[in-house]
Amino acid sequence: MSPEYAMEGLFSVRSDVYSFGILILEIITGQKNSSFHNMEGSLNIVGYAWQMWNSDKGEQLIDPLIRASSSPSAAREALRCVHMALLCVQDHAGDRPDIPYVVLALGSDSSVLPMPRPPTFTLQCTSSDRDRFRGKAGDESYSACDLTVTMLQGR
């Protein structure tokens, strides 16, 4: 679900582009966004893909079954798909490409894709944070969500 729809209830053609990007990431990684879990602290598949892409480990995103059964050119195509997916899942709808551009760019190796912007909603925890938030059976519950409330009072 696109951020603008989740936060404000706004739906547009670019919302479909966001969903298409998620679908590409799910196919390439072999993992569902709805049940994504990884121990590196990423909140979702978008955050994980961005972390891997940004640290030049994009090839590690590719499902091992795809990597094992494909040629080097197929691996390049998969990385291009990841790049396009990251463009499709950018937070601001105006930053996302439209579908005709996506189709054209995926069908051509010659076009240069722009760099995607980092996603807003990612979570990074250290291992000590994960242990603290996990809690133990019988312990009070823990949460990674901190909230500060300020009450303003007039004179």
- Compare 106 and 7 and report the one with higher pLDDT: 106
Domain membership of residue 71 (yes or no) is: yes
Convert the pLDDT of each residue in 96-126 to its tens digit: 898 888 889 888 877 788 888 887 755 444 4
What does the pLDDT read at residue 82?
92
pLDDT at residue 6 above 70? no
Whether 51 is in a domain gets the answer yes
- DSSP-derived secondary structure for 21-64: HHHHHHHHHT--STT---TT--SSHHHHHHHHHHTT-GGGGS-H
16-36: average pLDDT: 85
In a domain, 136, yes or no: no
Residue 152 lies in a domain: no
| Domain encompassing residue 124 | 3-130
Whether 70 is in a domain gets the answer yes
Using one digit for the tens of pLDDT, what is the confidence trace for 122-140?
Answer: 544 444 444 544 444 444 4
Domain membership flag for residue 155: no
Higher pLDDT, 83 or 123: 83
What is the average per-residue pLDDT within 29-37? Answer: 76
Q: How many distinct structural domains can be found in the chain?
A: 1
Domain assignment present for residue 145? The answer is no
Which of the 8 DSSP states describes residue 94? Answer: G
pTM, 2 dp: 0.68
Judge whether residue 22 has pLDDT over 80: yes
DSSP conformational letter for 115: P
Q: Determine, yes or no, domain membership for 140.
A: no
CATH number, domain with residue 44? 1.10.510.10
Structural contact between residues 35 and 102, judged by C-beta atoms closer than 8 angstroms? no
